[in-house]
Structures are given as C-alpha cells and as structure tokens.
Chain A
Amino acid sequence: MGMGHNFEFSRIRTAVLFLLGSAALAIPAHAQGNKAAPGPAGATFVGSETCKTCHEEIFNGWEKSPHWKQTLKEGGISKHGCEDCHGPGSAHVEGGGDKTKIFMFENASSNDINARCLTCHVGGPEHMNTINSEHAKSGVSCASCHSPHHSESREFLLKKSEPELCYSCHLAQKAQFDMPFHHRVNEGLVQCSDCHNPHGTVGPKQVRASSTQNAICFKCHADKEGPFVYEHAPVKTDGCTSCHLTHGGPNPHMLKLSNVNLLCLQCHTTSTFSTAPGAPSFHNQATFFQACVLCHSQIHGSNFDATLFK
C-alpha cells in the first residue's frame, strides 16, 4: 500500500547493537546504588544481632523477608543489615534506645523515606517515574503502602492486599467499584495496579500506558484499539473517558449518561466549536431511533463504514 516500510530488520539490528554496546560499557561499571543510610555524626555500625536484642519481633519478621538477604547476607556495604535502612546505630544503642539517634521511618518525611528506599529500588520500568509520582508529591511515601516488617500481603511487602490498600485513601473509588456496573476489581480479576502505577507515570493520575503509549484500556479491550480507517476520533484524541467512567458507575457500560442518545447528542449537535457532525434531520427522536448505537454499532471505529454501522 505504500504507506511505509517494514522496519522489523532495522529494529532488531538496533536492539542488538544497543545490547552489545550496553554490555561492553557495563563491564567496567562500578557496584553502585546500594549505600548505607547516613546516621548521626560519629555513629558507627553495630550489626543486626545487636538490634535483635531489643527488637526481636521485628528482626524475626525481617529475617523472613527478601530484604534480609539483600541487606545482610550478600556482599559489600550492605552487610550492615538493619542499619542499611536505619543508619548506623551505635549512638542509638549508647543512648539507651534514643529514637532521635537513629533514622525512624515513622517520624521521617516522605521525601526522606523515599530517598532511603530508592537507594536500592531505583531504575527499572516500575520505578522509572518516581519524579512524577503524585503519591510522592502528596506526601505518600513508600512506607505508606509497604511494610518491610509487618506486611500482610505475600507480595511486595504490602501492608494490605489490593484493592483494600488503595481504598484506605481512595474512598470515593471504593464506592464506584461497588456500583452494579464496574470493573471487576472487588472480585479480584483486575487490580488497581493493572491500570495505575503507584510509583508514578508520565501521564496524569499515575495511569499506565500501553507499550505504544496508547491507552492502557486497550490491553484488555484490544478490539477497540484499531487503528481503524474510520475512527471515532474522540476515542483516540480524548480517550475512553470521553464517554465512559473508568472505575464503575450507575449506568450500563459505565457510560456517563443513562440514555445513549443524550450522550451522543451532546457532541453530535451542530455547533460553532464542534468538529463532530450534527445528527441528520431524519433522526426523529419520536420514532424508532431509540438508541444511536443500534445502527452505529461500531461506535469505537469501523474499517469499512464511515457511519460506523458495521
């Protein structure tokens, strides 16, 4: 059709070259990222066994977690165990457990907490956009959702499983997911983190994007993605939320309005500032045109009907 070339080979070649180049550059790379948290001036490391003498319950919980191996078992500076995160504890010990002389997460600012955690958990697709995290901006720290010592969830050391964890703050969304028309989040089929990245994304509301930076909705609703010859343009320019609520709502298909025709007529009325065509004159609302989508059934886009009939 002459609308482009097949870039498959060049893509693969680029990928291979990148991998080889990266590997070559990485060989002399230093061990990096992991560094112990700073502590009070002059404080030194006392070792996790010392911590255990007073904090045995916490130690036992931490000992079962993946953090144990990361911070204690394996090499380098990370051998400091508890003090990797809490800082050197000699002053704390010598002060008889003085809480002011060790890093306490519960009293720290979210920025400080996040900085501690990101010392190791930096990079990778999930944490690439921590700068853009609305959670972080709102003072929601890593420790707000994760509990290295007392996690209830088996995965990711979460304080609670989804969606209950998210509902702790997002009260309105709990109500929306309890409406009769909703995404199956309460049922466990879909998780909040399927659509949102709690660690931040480039777009608003921490909403994930597909690999093509298209709407994440298309991961499941793949038949709506197209691209179509005859697009229903707002689906692609403004997104699914032009017509649908995302979490749940009172109306079928989570539409914003209860009546399909009124939803359509909002845009399909000839208007000074609208690019959508107005409904034609033979669309007599008194007759059988009870629902636009009965005829315009391919409302998300069609390949061979400009009127989105089929």
Chain B
Amino acid sequence: MSPIKAGEKETRPEVKFPGGRGRKAMRSRPGVCSIAFVLFAVALFLSPAARAQDDSGESKGTNWGDYNIHQSVEFGYRANEISGNQDTYGTFVNLGSGVRLFDYTLEMRSLDHNGFLFDNLTFANFGYGGDPNDVSRLRIQKNKKYDFRMQFRRDKNFWDYNLFANPLNPAALNPVGSETTGCIVSPPTAVHPGLPGYCSNPAIAAVNSPHALDLVRRMQDYDLTLFPNSAIRFRLGYSRNRDLGPGFFTTDGGTISDFPETYSYTTNAYRAGVDVRILPRTTISYDQFLSYFKQDNSVTDNPAVTPQNFGFQLANPTVNGTPAGTPVDLGLIWSTQTPAEALPCSAIAAPIINFGTAPPTLTNAACNGFLSYSQVGNPRNSIPTERVRFQSNYFEKFEMSGSAGYSSSDYKYTDLSEFVNDWTARTATRGSTAGGPIETKRVSVNADWSGAYLVTEKFRIVDRFRYDNWRTPGMWVLNETNIFATGFAGITGLQQNQAVFNAANCPLGDFNAVTCPFHTAGSGADVTNGLGLTFLGQNLKSNTIEAEYDYNRRVRGYIGYLYTNRTIAQLDATTNGDTDTSGAACGNLGCSLTYFPGGTAAAATAANDFLAARGSCAFPAAPAPHVLPAGCTLNADGSITFIGPAGPAPTRTLTTINTNAALLGAVVRPIDALRINADLEFGFNDKSYTRIDPTVVQSYKLHVNYKPRPWAMLDGALEIHENRDNATDVNNREHDRSYSFAALLMPNRRLSVDFGYNYWDVYTQSEICFNYSISYSNFPAAGTTVFQTSPPGVATTACPIAGASVLTGAGPNGALSTYSSNDHFAHAALVYKPGKRITTTVGYGGSFVRGSSIFLNPLTPSGTLDYNYQRPYATIVVDIYRGFSYKTSWNYYGFTETGTTNPFGLGGIPLQDFNGSNLTFSFRYAF
C-alpha cells in the first residue's frame, strides 16, 4: 500500500468490514444460479490462456482475443461456534458454517474498445453457498450501442428477537409459604422494591418473538439502455421482488393468539422510457411504468397444520358439545388472575391447566381459545405510471429541469375469507366469518420544476418547486357473521358446538331447541352487510429559493427560504358493522343486519321473538307494544332483518400545515488541506398533523476534513437535529445529535491505521395519557386491598388533556414520556504487511448503548435500552504464488444486555446475549 501522492488518489484504501463480503453466501434461484455458473465456467475455461501475471498480488489479467480478462475467485469454509441466544444471533448476524463462494468477479475489457458483442463486462458475485445475503451484479456495455445492467439479490431475513414486544410474559404466582404469597410480582418492601402486578396460574413464558419470521426476499433488476449517447436513447427495465416464507401473525380474539402465516408477495415492475434531445443541450424524457403487485399470504391455525399452537386439550363432559380431547389454542399471553379482562381466562385463581394429563387439559370452559382459524385472500394491485421529464441548459445562464407524472393504482381484493372457530367470552360468540370485495385506489399527480440562473460568474439563484397530490379512496363491501353456540345444558364456552341456523336446527316454534344458536339480549347481529368507505389524501406544494455566492474559490455560501403548504384530507365512513356490537347504529352509510332467533327458554320467548328482536330491532321498553322498530322486518323463518338508514354524513377532516424555513450554509477551504462544510436550517410549522410532528425544526451540520499530509486524513462531523412542539398538552421535544471523528493514516507501504468514534445522542419526550389500574391484597396488612393507579417510578399527574378516556376507578395518568439513548460507537482497523507476501489486519467495531425510559409496566425488561455489541476481527492473507493467496479470518460477535433483563417477578425468559465466533479459511485466485 503506497502513500498517496498529491493530486493522485484522493481516497482512502478500502476499509474491510469484519468478515468482509466473504461471509455472504446462499442459494439463489435456479435460473440465476445457472447463469452465474455458466459464466463462471466459461471464465474458468478461458483461464488457460493466462499469460501476463504477477507472481503476487493482483494480476493484470489475461489477454484473450480482443479482450483483457481479469477474474478473481475466493472460496473456502466457515466454521462457527455460537453460544447463548441462537435466535438473536440469527436476527443480527445469521452467518452459518459451511463451504462458501465468498467472492467471484469477472472483468472483460475490449483492448481496442471495439469488441464484437461488448466493450466492457463486469460481473461480481458474493455470498453463495448458504449465507443470508447473496448478490450478483452484471454490467455489459458496448459504447454508444447499449448498456445493460443486471442485479440479483437474495436476502434471507430471519427475525426472532423476542423482547420486541416486551414484556410478553406474566408474573408467576408465588406459592403459599414463600416470602410473599399470592399474586405478588414485586413486593413493595425495602428488600423487593416495586409494586404488585398481575400474574398467571400457570405462568407460561413466551420465549420467541410473536412476530418471528424467516423470509427469503429475492430481488432482481434488469436495465437496458440502447444508444446511450445518441440523440434518442431508449431505456427498458424490469424488476421483480419476491418475498416468501413463514412468519407469525397475532390478533385479538378473546385471547391474543400467534397464528402461523405464510408470506407470499410478488412485485413485477416493467418500465420503458426514451430520452430525446430535440433542442441543443436539452433532454426530454418520457417513461412508462407498469407495476403489478400480488399477495398470496395465508394464515392458518389448526391442529393438523400447526400442532405447536395446540398444546392443550378440552375436558368436555359430554359428546353433545365439542368432543373431549379436542386440541385447543389458548393463545400467546397469559394473565389469568384478577383483571376484569384476563387472558385466556378471567379472574381465576386456581390453575386453569391440569398438567396431569397428556396433553395438559384445560379445566375451565370459560376460557377464551381457538379451535381453528384461517384467513386467505389474494389481493392484486396494478400501478400504471407515466412521467415526462426535461432538463435543459439551452440558455447560457439559465438551467432548468422538471418533471410531471400521473399514476393510478387499482388495488383489488375480491376473495377475502376469514373463518374463526373460537370462543370469545366477552361477546359470547363461538366464531365469526368475514368477507366481501375490497377495492382501493391511489391516484397521484405530481410535478416539479427547478431553475438556476447564473446572475454573475459568482452569484447564482436557484428555485425549486414541487407539487405532489395523491389520494387513496378505499371501499370494503363488508359481509360479516357472528356465529353463536348451541345450547346443550351444562356445556359452555369452547365445549359448545357452533350452531347453524336453518329449519332443521331451528324449526318454527322451537327456537329454544338446543341445536339452535343461543343468543343473549346483548348479542350482536348474526349477519352484517354494510359498506366501508375511506379517503386519505394529501396536497403538497413546496418552493425553495436559494442564493448561492462564490466569494472566491475557497469560500462559498448560500442562503435560502423554504415554504411548504400541505393539506391532508381524511374521511372514514363506515357501517357500524363491528361484529362485537349490538348493531344499534348503522354508521354513516346504512347497513343490513339480520338477527336469528334462539336462546334459552327463559331468555328467548315469544315476547321478544325468541331474541331475534334485539339490538336495533329490540322492542321498545315499557309500554312494550309488540311492534318492531322502523326498518325491522320479521321474516318467515323467524329471523328479523334490519335495513338501517344512513346516519349523519361523515365529516371530512382537513389539516393544513404551512412550513416556513430559513436555510443557510457555507463551504470554506482556508487552505488546500482543510475543508469545512456547514449547513443550518430553521423551520416553523404552524400546525401539526400528529403529536410528534414538530412545529419548530432546527438542523445543524458541520463537517471538517483535514488532510495534513498526503498519507493522513482526519474527519470530524457534527450533526444536530432539534424538533419540538411547545403546545402545553403535547410538550414534544426531540433531538438527534451525532458527533463523529475518523482518522486514516498510511505512513508507509506496510502500515495503515483507520480508527474513529461516534457519539449518538437521541432523546424524545411528550406528554402522554394512559390508563393504569392495579389492585392487590395482603399488603401492607392482611385483608386490605390496595389500589394503585400509576406505575412505580413514574411521576404522574392528572391527565392534563381534556377529553382523554378515563378508566373507571383509576387514571388516566398524565406523564411526561421520556426516552433517551446514548450510543457510543468505536471502530479501528490496522493493516500491516510484515513481508511482501503477508498482509495482516486487526480490527474492532463496537456499539455501546445506554438509555433510559419511563416504564409503564414494572415487568418490562430494559431490552434495547442498555447493551454492548462488539465485533473484533482479525485476518491474515498470504500470497502464495501468482495471484493465488490463502486467507484466514476470525470474526467475533458479542451481544450483552447490560440493563434489567429479568425484572423481579417476571416469568423466566431467555437472555438475548450471545457470543459468536466465525473462523473462515479461504483461497483466492486472481488471474
């Protein structure tokens, strides 16, 4: 590595990352693999023609025919040893052991720049053989004829960091006779400071992320430019993005369950364009884009497909209901005691599971749970877009560019089908279905114009205008049903069968039959047909004008003004078709509700049409004439249909925000070796759309580059962003401050040192209101009950925000929510060549995160507030003979949580810590 000569290479040597690109590998799609393999084989076939080569280091390539060919291939084996949390290692690093193609490059250059098919070809690949990222990039050019680029990327995206939604796990029930008994997670004593919380019996820890996934994303891009230097230039392109793999989907159906989901979505994007030079120094372009998106995800939960979710069985007393031994999915999160709405069972002190059976048996039929779930559908979206662009410096002192585009996507989802087979205690339903066609559009019209006028040689005025208008009208013709249970005596909850309303099960005159759906007076409609219409749009106009002045070649500056006006329009007009509601109202758009009869003899009587007259069709209270409300019709089968009128017209919400900002900046080079860049921005918004949208924006950037010697380069940077909204009930403040330093020293051919440090300070705060309510007994004195309405350690006040929802008997609490993260990042690399043929590298990269936050739940682990992530590495490369070299690399990955990993009382969860060592042995041949 030679010192940099003045004016020769104003650059640094390539900094090697820990492990380098050699750790990328994986299988690709067969077609692309084949292409890569064929090219690789051809390249190797050509290699015997090698003639001119150095005896060490990089070769000058091989002349073959009209081409100079330069190839390099690096392959080898990686061995790794991982201890600790394998899932976190997989989420962060995911490099495994095995044989890998770490790198392969091919470069062909026509010697006379007039090759038969091409003048230049570059083909670069890495990562094949099993690593999470494999990439191939190909570029083929023939001057003035064509330029073809291809890129294939495969990303194995594994995710299982289980503190994302922390805390997932309930506190364990402390046994009688222990230091603290009962549902105490953190006795408020000097020994165990803190407060009690809810717990579960039993407490079952969720040890994996509820949203874990293991997707493979394959991205392909092909671009061909024909006649790239001609007056008419044509461009063709195609991109494909395919995402496929298993993951998990959570939803609330009485218990929060974690359903397996198969992800499958594909985007095919086609583009064609032409650049035309009609006038001198003027280019006009037209592009047509066609993009098609299709999604074929499916969510399935049943014992045959996902046995892992069905670790328990029902203990039914009779065959009249769901059979005993039926596998049941009780969901992800358990909190069985005390709360009014606990999961999966409510306020049950005794263990809800009998572990004496195999599989364990659910002992309480009132518990929520799933017997099966499915959600399938195939939404499709087509997005045609056209765009016209121009750029011109036709006029000597006036340069301008601009574009205008129109796009309208049509998202159709015609086959939605959701089927739920569960028991939801709060609605007393034994399942539900949802379907109905969906269509959404996104219409976008946008344009921009920029002009630069050279007033003098030193003074320039630049103006930029941008217009962006989009709107997304959406519609769902909803068709939902509530499924109720049959009414066999003594059978409740999941023990019941799903009832089907028909003449056989519910003959006229016998709507109390046990086979009929059993309703209560509060049951929702059996069938809901309605409409949901939504609209979201934004109209943005923005203009920036700047004056730029070059004082001399060492000093230049600019001052500018930015004005933006944007209006956001939002409208939601929906049938009140929530299957949980009684159907008392029909929202803005009207609806059609159907109430089936059926219920116990005591509740479902002729006086209320056997409970078909409920909800919107309930008979008026006393005096109680047997007359249905308007819109309700008694059908021949005993059901009642309600055609609900449209309610008040929906109100469109308009939010208009005006932004004014001053811009200021300078570039100063006091001496040739020193360069200073500074940029400032001060902005004001007169309104916010969300509570974290700032009304005051400040931005400061400073970058200093100093090159005291040709072999030394020093860099320092400061970047500060400050946002705030001073509204008293918002009090939002954010800052993002980075302070960086980096140095590169290359004192001689044998040694180079690269090191740096970055301090990143992130802070955010805002007033929040939240509900918090907890009660516990036996403290401080036995027999007393204490209510706690704010989380421990959080300074709360009465919620200052008018209109905030209030939890009866408790908050809401107002608190200043704060979060800060102070991150230190240090890196260093030392490259030393002890001999002509040996190159050694030792390096280190480490991130040290220290943060703080309020905790609304005392069971919350600190998670990513505090940790160290360190990655030292070392490499030795030995040049053996004529471009053939041997390389050994060692890479270490260490992740250590340094905060509160398991708060007292929290059900045990595994630490996220891991230590991973990768040892790589590889050979590289450049020829």
Which of B155, B767, B856 contacts A262, CB < 8 Å? B856
CB–CB A66/B773 < 8 A: no
Given the interface pairs A236-B536, A251-B864, the reply to whether A229 lies near B476 with Cβ below 8 Å is yes
A252: min CB distance to chain B, Å: 4
Stretch touching chain A among B27-35, B311-319, B336-344, B632-640 = B336-344
CB–CB B442/A212 < 8 A: yes
CB–CB B342/A288 < 8 A: yes
Given the interface pairs A227-B441, A258-B821, A290-B165, the reply to whether A269 lies near B413 with Cβ below 8 Å is no
CB–CB B133/A222 < 8 A: no
Q: Which residue of chain B has the shortest Cβ distance to A25 in the bound complex?
A: B278
Residues of the A chain whose Cβ atoms lie less than 8 Å from the Cβ of B256: 288, 294-295
Which of B232, B277, B805 contacts A278, CB < 8 Å? B805
CB–CB B286/A250 < 8 A: no
Q: Which residue of chain A has the shortest Cβ distance to B480 in the bound complex?
A: A304
Q: CB of A53 within 8 A of chain B?
A: no
Q: Which of A173-223 contact B (CB under 8 A)?
A: 174-176, 178-181, 184, 186-189, 202-203, 211-214, 219-220, 222-223
CB–CB B655/A275 < 8 A: yes
CB–CB A293/B217 < 8 A: no
Stretch touching chain B among A37-45, A80-88, A90-98, A146-154 = A146-154
Residues of the A chain whose Cβ atoms lie less than 8 Å from the Cβ of B854: 262
Which of A29, A186, A271 contacts B730, CB < 8 Å? A271
In the bound assembly, the distance between CA atoms of A123 and B283 in angstroms comes to: 6
CB–CB B217/A175 < 8 A: no
CB–CB B275/A124 < 8 A: yes
CB–CB A178/B715 < 8 A: no
Residues of the B chain whose Cβ atoms lie less than 8 Å from the Cβ of A297: 211, 249-251
Q: Mark A236-275, 1 if CB is under 8 A from B, else 0.
A: 1110001000000011110011111110011101111111
In the bound assembly, the distance between CA atoms of A174 and B788 in angstroms comes to: 46
Q: Which residue of chain A has the shortest Cβ distance to B109 in the bound complex?
A: A64
Q: Which residue of chain A has the shortest Cβ distance to B162 in the bound complex?
A: A252
A63: min CB distance to chain B, Å: 9
Q: CB of B595 within 8 A of chain A?
A: no
Q: CB of B120 within 8 A of chain A?
A: yes
Q: CB of B785 within 8 A of chain A?
A: no
CB–CB B166/A109 < 8 A: no
Residues of the B chain whose Cβ atoms lie less than 8 Å from the Cβ of A258: 819, 821, 851, 853, 862-865
Q: Mark A97-135, 1 if CB is under 8 A from B, else 0.
A: 000000000111111000000100011110111111000
In the bound assembly, the distance between CA atoms of A211 and B406 in angstroms comes to: 10
Residues of the B chain whose Cβ atoms lie less than 8 Å from the Cβ of A110: 667
Q: Which of B220-273 contact A (CB under 8 A)?
A: 229, 231-233, 235, 239, 241, 243, 249-252, 256, 263, 265, 267, 269, 271-273
CB–CB A1/B133 < 8 A: no
CB–CB A226/B442 < 8 A: yes
In the bound assembly, the distance between CA atoms of A31 and B249 in angstroms comes to: 59
CB–CB A282/B278 < 8 A: no
Residues of the B chain whose Cβ atoms lie less than 8 Å from the Cβ of A291: 164-166, 168, 210
Given the interface pairs A14-B386, A171-B742, A178-B847, the reply to whether A123 lies near B391 with Cβ below 8 Å is yes
CB–CB B760/A172 < 8 A: yes
A195: min CB distance to chain B, Å: 13
Q: CB of B53 within 8 A of chain A?
A: no
CB–CB B717/A172 < 8 A: yes
CB–CB B119/A66 < 8 A: yes
> A interface, by DSSP: helix, strand, loop or mixed?
loop
In the bound assembly, the distance between CA atoms of A53 and B562 in angstroms comes to: 52
Q: CB of B15 within 8 A of chain A?
A: yes
Q: Mark A54-79, 1 if CB is under 8 A from B, else 0.
A: 00000000001010111001100000
Which of B437, B446, B773, B805 contacts A286, CB < 8 Å? B773
Q: Which residue of chain A has the shortest Cβ distance to B131 in the bound complex?
A: A187
CB–CB B265/A222 < 8 A: yes
CB–CB B401/A129 < 8 A: yes
CB–CB A236/B472 < 8 A: yes
Q: Mark A130-171, 1 if CB is under 8 A from B, else 0.
A: 111000011100001001001010110001110010011111
In the bound assembly, the distance between CA atoms of A306 and B587 in angstroms comes to: 13
Q: CB of B105 within 8 A of chain A?
A: yes
Given the interface pairs A22-B274, A229-B534, the reply to whether A15 lies near B286 with Cβ below 8 Å is yes
Which of B272, B448, B807 contacts A282, CB < 8 Å? B807
Stretch touching chain A among B521-529, B603-611, B685-693, B879-887 = B685-693
Q: Mark B700-722, 1 if CB is under 8 A from A, else 0.
A: 00010100000000010101000
Q: Which residue of chain A has the shortest Cβ distance to B217 in the bound complex?
A: A220
Which of A31, A267, A271 contacts B729, CB < 8 Å? A271
A65: min CB distance to chain B, Å: 9
Residues of the A chain whose Cβ atoms lie less than 8 Å from the Cβ of B232: 22-23, 26
Interface residue tally on A, bucketed by range: 35 or more
Given the interface pairs A123-B277, A124-B283, the reply to whether A290 lies near B333 with Cβ below 8 Å is yes
Given the interface pairs A64-B109, A171-B742, A286-B773, the reply to whether A275 lies near B251 with Cβ below 8 Å is no
Q: CB of B877 within 8 A of chain A?
A: no
Given the interface pairs A22-B276, A22-B284, A304-B434, the reply to whether A285 lies near B857 with Cβ below 8 Å is yes
CB–CB A266/B732 < 8 A: yes
In the bound assembly, the distance between CA atoms of A306 and B573 in angstroms comes to: 11
In the bound assembly, the distance between CA atoms of A193 and B729 in angstroms comes to: 41
In the bound assembly, the distance between CA atoms of A309 and B756 in angstroms comes to: 45
In the bound assembly, the distance between CA atoms of A252 and B92 in angstroms comes to: 10
CB–CB B466/A202 < 8 A: yes
CB–CB B478/A168 < 8 A: no
Q: Mark B720-752, 1 if CB is under 8 A from A, else 0.
A: 000001010110100000101110000000000
In the bound assembly, the distance between CA atoms of A170 and B251 in angstroms comes to: 41
CB–CB A211/B407 < 8 A: yes
In the bound assembly, the distance between CA atoms of A164 and B170 in angstroms comes to: 46
Q: Which residue of chain A has the shortest Cβ distance to B93 in the bound complex?
A: A180
Residues of the B chain whose Cβ atoms lie less than 8 Å from the Cβ of A14: 386
Residues of the A chain whose Cβ atoms lie less than 8 Å from the Cβ of B332: 294
CB–CB B11/A159 < 8 A: yes
CB–CB B823/A250 < 8 A: yes
Q: CB of A46 within 8 A of chain B?
A: no
Residues of the A chain whose Cβ atoms lie less than 8 Å from the Cβ of B719: 172
CB–CB A269/B231 < 8 A: no
Residues of the B chain whose Cβ atoms lie less than 8 Å from the Cβ of A229: 438, 440, 474-476, 532, 534
B443: min CB distance to chain A, Å: 7
Q: Which of B541-586 contact A (CB under 8 A)?
A: 546, 548, 550, 553, 556, 558, 568, 570, 572, 574
Given the interface pairs A3-B473, A129-B401, A259-B860, the reply to whether A172 lies near B758 with Cβ below 8 Å is yes
CB–CB A272/B267 < 8 A: no
Residues of the B chain whose Cβ atoms lie less than 8 Å from the Cβ of A159: 9-11
CB–CB A169/B715 < 8 A: yes
Q: CB of B174 within 8 A of chain A?
A: no
Residues of the A chain whose Cβ atoms lie less than 8 Å from the Cβ of B460: 111
Residues of the A chain whose Cβ atoms lie less than 8 Å from the Cβ of B867: 180, 250
CB–CB A284/B771 < 8 A: yes
In the bound assembly, the distance between CA atoms of A111 and B277 in angstroms comes to: 24
Lowest 5 A-B CB distances belong to which pairs? A123-B283, A291-B165, A171-B740, A175-B758, A172-B738
List 17 A-B residue pairs with CB atoms under 8 Å apart, sorted by A's residue number: A14-B386, A29-B277, A122-B391, A125-B287, A128-B283, A130-B401, A150-B9, A172-B719, A175-B760, A211-B287, A211-B383, A220-B217, A227-B381, A227-B474, A234-B689, A273-B688, A286-B791
A residues within 8 Å of B by Cβ? 1, 3-4, 7-8, 11-12, 14-15, 18-19, 22-23, 25-26, 29-33, 64, 66, 68-70, 73-74, 106-111, 118, 122-125, 127-132, 137-139, 144, 147, 150, 152, 154-155, 159-161, 164, 167-172, 174-176, 178-181, 184, 186-189, 202-203, 211-214, 219-220, 222-223, 225-231, 233-234, 236-238, 242, 250-253, 256-262, 265-267, 269-276, 278-288, 290-291, 293-295, 297, 303-304, 306, 309-310
Can you name 18 extra interface pairs (CB under 8 A) apart from A128-B389, A269-B801, A285-B857?
A: A8-B384, A64-B109, A106-B7, A111-B460, A128-B283, A131-B399, A150-B9, A171-B756, A175-B740, A212-B385, A214-B442, A227-B440, A228-B411, A237-B538, A293-B211, A295-B252, A304-B418, A310-B375
